[in-house]
Amino acid sequence: MSYESDFLQSLRRLATDPAARGLTDDAAVLGLGERSLVLTKDLLVEGVHYLPGDPPADVAWKLLAVNLSDLAAKGARPCGVLLGYSLGEEAWDRAFVEGLGGALQAFGVALLGGDTVKAPPGAPRTFSLTAIGEATGAVPSRGGAGAGEQLWVSGTIGDAGAGLRSLRGGIDAAQSLIERYRNPRPRLGAGEALAPLVTAMMDVSDGLLIDAARMAEASGVAVRIDLGDVPLSGAFLEALGSGRDARLFASTAGDDYELLFAAPAEAGAEILRLSERLGLPLSRIGGFAAGAGLRLTDGGDEVSMPERLGWEHG
Amino acid sequence: MSYESDFLQSLRRLATDPAARGLTDDAAVLGLGERSLVLTKDLLVEGVHYLPGDPPADVAWKLLAVNLSDLAAKGARPCGVLLGYSLGEEAWDRAFVEGLGGALQAFGVALLGGDTVKAPPGAPRTFSLTAIGEATGAVPSRGGAGAGEQLWVSGTIGDAGAGLRSLRGGIDAAQSLIERYRNPRPRLGAGEALAPLVTAMMDVSDGLLIDAARMAEASGVAVRIDLGDVPLSGAFLEALGSGRDARLFASTAGDDYELLFAAPAEAGAEILRLSERLGLPLSRIGGFAAGAGLRLTDGGDEVSMPERLGWEHG
């Protein structure tokens, strides 16, 4: 067990309130009278989660989007956010605030408060954001998937990964892919509409394979994904093709901020109707079975597991 | 205007939701059905808000206490907290978690969630905490004090400042003063009991004088404080005496985490009964008048203003 996961274990021992969901879910769910609040907090560290050269407006956008994506995965409607800001260079900070304003407006979310500090000169900066949402019904956890149920994902997978690879000079990719890396769009509407239909839901942030494995583990079941069913965009196919390597790349790249969810077979027709109504692909990519672990197939044929399933932490 | 306050202005322009209270209060107040949530977020930066050599358990305690103190000042009852943690050295981190556990238990507060990151090696760390509370009635702001009203403060002032001065080797002080610096106790019960009686309330974190000046400014009135009425503890008097310099030191040192509040004269008797019931000194230290700014007196005689009123930021 890594030091970081050891540390998380020690925090989990403190988080005995049921609202904390054992710190194993994407968000806390706090009952307040007849309402339920959904609370999440994510940090971005300079040099770790973004590069000093990244456009500040994109850093602001991402900080907001990754937190709202956690709310989306819980079917919650955002009420507002609190910002923890570390002051740096004036022009950078100004561009950050401008980007934050645009992102708040794009998602219709209110800035409610926070704190601003001066980091010691030259120190990498840490930004934090707390997003507060209100549950729109029962709040799906990661851990509710059952054997025999199906695994679904929203949108297309791998676009942000291809965008990042292009930014790093690895490939030529359409601007739309770079856009998906820089300005992810949390699936708030879809999350709210899906919440009543699913047995488990989370967002894909670290990679489709690793996140699906986490859902299976939290649910105490095994999961199978068919690479051939992983939804790829036209721009992705143009940049990287549809071969197995491209599909494995898409399924492990992360930063998708799509919704990954489990549902019984009976819910399939309803999910497809919803997909049409939302104008958002919702694709069945696998299923759950008794047991444990992740299996990969491609058009039904068994595929050996790649060395890396996504971004590991915790 | 400093760069930092200029930056805060630009954030305020984004915070148009009434729940944000214009980012000028200690906390956001978010209505949810018939309930109101009180939300606050404070950061601690290594080398800025605490020293690398400070005991990690005290850093944890302080991170929790300063946030809960903001809830106390709004009369809110804490529901739980989210932690933003930056991993460092193993033994330090372990001691931090242990201290956090003790502090959570001492205040009866639940850890609900958060995020853990690895900072780049050698980088100073930033910790953030979001505290979520529920309003127990109307939520006093900083800005409600009226001309003719009286200014009160809870507990004793200057103890933490004397404790810090002693830690820095400046003076000899009782362990109880060091304790007040290291392990401040937010006035949660008193805040809840006072909220219905006050017209404005905030906590004293940056210094009695500067915080009183801020309350007056937010309220659009002038404030006068009589140094002779500032409550000092026996241990403080023993360490620093009761002279004007000692009183000025106490009133500008900060880190008190006491409650500063305004109330009409008619509420005085009720406040004193409450003081008795709580076993906590509640002292009248001055009053508000039409106009603007801060005036100091000592036993009624006008005193010239010290150069520094407390910790300035924003």
Which of A43, A64, A139 to mutate to test binding with chain B, by most B CBs within 10 Å of its CB?
Answer: A43
Contact across the interface for B113 and A27, Cβ inside 8 Å:
yes
Contact across the interface for B113 and A23, Cβ inside 8 Å:
yes
- Residues A19, B112: contact at Cβ < 8 Å? yes
- Could you tell me the pTM of the whole model? 0.93
Task: Please tell me if residue B302 touches chain A, with a CB cutoff of 8 Å.
Answer: no
CA distance B68 to B90: 27
Provide the chain B residues 123-142 that lie in CB contact (below 8 A) with chain A. 123-126, 128, 130, 132, 134
A176 class by beta-carbon count within 10 Å (0-12 exposed, 13-18 middle, 19+ buried): middle
B222-226 vs B293-298, strand pairing mode: parallel
**pLDDT (average), residues B163-175:** 89
Contact across the interface for A32 and B37, Cβ inside 8 Å:
yes
| Below-70 pLDDT ranges, chain A | 1, 313-314
**pLDDT (average), residues B43-48:** 88
| Predicted local distance difference test score (pLDDT) of residue A74 | 97
| Predicted local distance difference test score (pLDDT) of residue A33 | 85
Which of B38, B41, B87, B90 to mutate to test binding with chain A, by most A CBs within 10 Å of its CB?
Answer: B41
| Predicted local distance difference test score (pLDDT) of residue A1 | 56
| Encoded tokens for A73 | 């995965």
Residue type for B305, please? M
Which of B47, B100, B128 is nearest residue A120 as measured by Cβ atoms?
Answer: B47
* Nearest one of A52, A66, A61 to A101, comparing CA atoms: A61
The percent of chain B in helix, strand and coil, each rounded to the nearest 5, is 40, 25, 35
Which of B132, B136, B205 to mutate to test binding with chain A, by most A CBs within 10 Å of its CB?
Answer: B132
| Predicted local distance difference test score (pLDDT) of residue A314 | 44
Chain A CB contacts of B19 below 8 Å: 79-80, 110, 112
Provide the β-strand partners of residue B118: B87
Query: Does residue B314 register a pLDDT over 90?
Result: no
| Predicted local distance difference test score (pLDDT) of residue B1 | 56
| Predicted local distance difference test score (pLDDT) of residue B240 | 96
Task: Please tell me if residue B272 touches chain A, with a CB cutoff of 8 Å.
Answer: no
Q: What is the pLDDT of residues B108-135, one digit of tens each?
A: 999 999 999 987 887 888 999 999 999 9
CA distance B255 to B210: 12
Query: What is the ipTM, given to two decimal places?
Result: 0.90
Which of B10, B41, B119 is nearest residue A113 as measured by Cβ atoms?
Answer: B41
Cβ-based neighbours of A272, under 8 Å, separated by 6 or more: A282
A125 class by beta-carbon count within 10 Å (0-12 exposed, 13-18 middle, 19+ buried): buried
Contact across the interface for B48 and A83, Cβ inside 8 Å:
no
Contact across the interface for A117 and B23, Cβ inside 8 Å:
no
Cβ-based neighbours of A18, under 8 Å, separated by 6 or more: none
Which of B7, B67, B115, B139 to mutate to test binding with chain A, by most A CBs within 10 Å of its CB?
Answer: B115
**pLDDT (average), residues B280-284:** 98
Can you state the angle between helices B159-167 and B244-253, rounded to 10 degrees?
Answer: 90
- Exposed e or buried b per residue across B231-269, where buried means at least 16 C-beta atoms within 10 angstroms of its C-beta: bbbebbeebbeeeeebbbbbbbbbbbbbbbbbbeeebee
Percent of chain A with pLDDT over 90: 85
Chain A CB contacts of B45 below 8 Å: 86, 117-120
Task: Please tell me if residue B32 touches chain A, with a CB cutoff of 8 Å.
Answer: yes
Query: Does residue B230 register a pLDDT over 60?
Result: yes
**B171 band by pLDDT with thresholds 50, 70 and 90:** confident
Chain B CB contacts of A16 below 8 Å: 110
Distances (CA, A) of A281 to A35, A157, A233, A286, B118: 31, 11, 10, 15, 35
Please tell me which residue of chain A has the smallest CA distance to B49: A117
Provide the chain B residues 80-119 that lie in CB contact (below 8 A) with chain A. 80, 82-87, 90, 93-94, 97, 100-101, 104, 110-119
Q: Which of B135-139, B145-149, B301-305 has the highest mean pLDDT?
A: B145-149
CA distance A72 to A65: 10
Chain B CB contacts of A22 below 8 Å: none
Provide the β-strand partners of residue B261: B152, B201
Query: Does residue B3 register a pLDDT over 50?
Result: yes
* Nearest one of B106, B92, B198, B123 to B154, comparing CA atoms: B198
* Nearest one of B25, B22, B62, B55 to B40, comparing CA atoms: B25
* Residue A118 or residue B240, greater confidence: B240
**pLDDT (average), residues B149-154:** 98
CA angle B224/B313/B127 to nearest 5° reads 125
What distance in Å separates residue A132's CA from the closest CA in chain B? 10
CA distance A281 to A62: 23
Which of B7, B115, B119 is nearest residue A124 as measured by Cβ atoms?
Answer: B119
Q: Edge-to-edge strand order for the sheet containing A76-87? A: A28-32, A35-45, A126-135, A76-87, A111-118
- Residues B152, B261: contact at Cβ < 8 Å? yes
Q: Where are the alpha helices (DSSP H) in chain A?
A: 3-14, 56-73, 90-107, 159-167, 175-182, 188-194, 208-219, 234-240, 244-253, 268-278
| Predicted local distance difference test score (pLDDT) of residue A150 | 98
Which of A3, A23, A123 is nearest residue B123 as measured by Cβ atoms?
Answer: A123
